[in-house]
Amino acid sequence: MSYSALAPLLCMLFLACCSFQTLPASAAEVDKLMVRLRYKVHILNGFADNAKPLIIHCHSRDDDLGEHTLWKDQEFRFKFIVHFVKTTHFVCDFNWGSKSLDNISVFKNDAETSSCRATGNCFWKAEEDGIYFSNNDQNWVKRFDCFQIYNHHLQIHQPLVFVTIREVTIEKSGFPEVELEVELKITVSPNSMLPEVIVSRPDMNH
């Protein structure tokens, strides 16, 4: 049979396939059938002002996306194709002034693929009280709680004092046992990174 004779038949088969694929189906059925390979991750600065920028560093096992500074309402985004053999896993470090959240998983096979499959987008927005997730930039759910202070950037403006009191028993030759109260006082001075340790004890002559 010649190509000219097959052409109408091929056109009819093509139209039939298109009609079959456009039959109505529920969103759940579509989600089960959909296989999405390409995804895009968005990191947004959702803080209330520009007093401090949001600094992020995202990477996977194979790719380092570098460090990026985001001011209020700015966004960093990257796209990729899901790996069939190895696990596709991207994590990000979020730093905001003296606070940070590290190793936040922003995409991992079987986790975000199910959450982001419908749109192909994973949105992460950092705010004062934590990090929120959405797959459409509209409906947000908190995934991680508020930022934690990390010590190597902590600036101390008031002295901090921690006191521990313990009872110790001292035995001397020819003398009865004496119970002493030993006070351990740790003072962190302003603008100092290393604590000053002071150990005081009662006067032995009393």
Pair (168, 109) in one structural domain: no
Residue 12 has what pLDDT?
A: 57
| Confidence at 163, pLDDT banded by 50, 70, 90 | very low
In a domain, 4, yes or no: no
- Give pLDDT tens digits for 80-103: 998 877 788 999 999 998 888 899
Residue 131 has what pLDDT?
A: 94
Residue 161 has what pLDDT?
A: 42
- Give pLDDT tens digits for 40-78: 999 999 999 999 999 999 999 989 999 999 999 999 999
Residue 151 has what pLDDT?
A: 41
Pair (142, 114) in one structural domain: yes
CB 169 within 8 A of CB 177: yes
**Sheet of 196-200: strands edge to edge?**
160-170, 178-188, 196-200
Pair (97, 165) in one structural domain: no
Q: What is the mean pLDDT of residues 147-163?
A: 42
Pair (142, 69) in one structural domain: yes
Q: What is the mean pLDDT of residues 7-18?
A: 53
Q: Which of 77, 187, 99 is nearest to 145 (CA)?
A: 99
| Confidence at 1, pLDDT banded by 50, 70, 90 | low
Pair (32, 128) in one structural domain: yes
- Give pLDDT tens digits for 104-150: 999 988 776 778 888 999 999 999 989 999 999 999 999 988 765 44
Pair (37, 89) in one structural domain: yes
If one counts the domains in the chain, the total is 2
In a domain, 205, yes or no: no
Pair (147, 170) in one structural domain: no
21 or 60, which is more confident:
60
CATH code, 77: 2.60.40
- The CB-based long-range contact list for 160-163 (8 Å cut-off, 24+ gap) reads 160/187, 160/188, 161/185, 161/186, 161/187, 162/186
Pair (57, 134) in one structural domain: yes
pLDDT at position 183 over 90:
no
- Give pLDDT tens digits for 185-200: 444 444 444 444 333 3
The parent domain of residue 27 ranges over 10-152
In a domain, 21, yes or no: yes
CB within 8 Å of 86: residues ≥ 6 apart: 61
| Confidence at 167, pLDDT banded by 50, 70, 90 | very low
Residue 60 has what pLDDT?
A: 93
Pair (143, 178) in one structural domain: no
* Torsion, CA 8, CA 11, CA 15, CA 16, rounded to 10: 70
Pair (16, 47) in one structural domain: yes
